[in-house]
């Protein structure tokens, strides 16, 4: 029983620490995305520097400096490297295709940030973590119950199951 209690307590502490860490990350972040997303997106942007794009009017063929080729469909939000579909995070090929479309003068192409899934937006994380776990005082501040009977009365009142008809009523 003690082991189970310790495991439960450890798990609760880890969850609470996790929540605190996320909150700290949200408070320190600037810009529209979480810090990790910003770093990843910056890496992807750098990788686009040596990409070449061929737009056929519907889809874009992105050729990397290694000579690899990937088909990007902005309408379907897919890239054949599968990164975009699996993670909902833009891959470098998708970024190249978006920038290429903007460069070609295509109207109404959303800015790069708008293509990133809302799960990576800071506002989404702030919304998810806006409900706070109330801090609690230590044991010294807890109410003291002196009578076991008092405790049992309270327990009965709160959690008592309905009595069966055969059970005699207590007096």
Interface positions with Zn ion (CB under 5 A)? 70, 79, 81, 83, 91, 93
Q: CA 82, 85, 87, 91 torsion: positive or negative?
A: positive
Cα 69 to its chain centre, rounded Å, is 31
Q: Considering the complex, state which of residue 86 and residue 136 has its C-beta at the smaller distance from Zn ion.
A: 86
| Residue 33: Cβ-neighbour burial (10 angstroms; 0-12, 13-18, 19+) | buried
Cβ atoms 51, 96 nearer than 8 A = yes
CB of 93 to Zn ion, least distance (A): 3
CB of 127 to Zn ion, least distance (A): 29
* Shortest separation between residue 76's beta carbon and Zn ion, angstroms: 13
Judged by CB, which is closer to Zn ion: 41, or 81? 81
- Nearer Cβ to Zn ion, position 120 or 125? 120
């Amino acid at each position: 029983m003690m082991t189970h209690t310790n495991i439960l307590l450890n798990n609760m502490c880890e969850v609470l620490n996790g929540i605190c860490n996320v909150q700290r990350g949200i408070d320190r972040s600037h810009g529209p995305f979480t810090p990790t997303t910003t770093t990843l997106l910056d890496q992807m942007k750098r990788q686009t520097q040596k990409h070449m794009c061929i737009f056929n009017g519907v889809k874009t063929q992105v050729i990397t400096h290694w000579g690899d080729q990937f088909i990007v469909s902005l309408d379907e939000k897919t890239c054949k490297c599968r990164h975009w579909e699996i993670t909902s995070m833009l891959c470098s090929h998708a970024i190249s295709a978006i920038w290429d479309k903007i460069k070609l003068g295509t109207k109404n192409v959303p800015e790069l940030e708008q293509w990133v899934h809302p799960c990576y937006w800071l506002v989404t994380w702030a919304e998810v973590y806006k409900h706070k776990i109330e801090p609690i005082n230590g044991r010294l501040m807890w109410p003291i119950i002196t009578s076991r009977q008092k405790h049992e009365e309270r327990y009965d009142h709160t959690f008592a199951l309905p009595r069966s008809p055969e059970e005699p009523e207590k007096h």
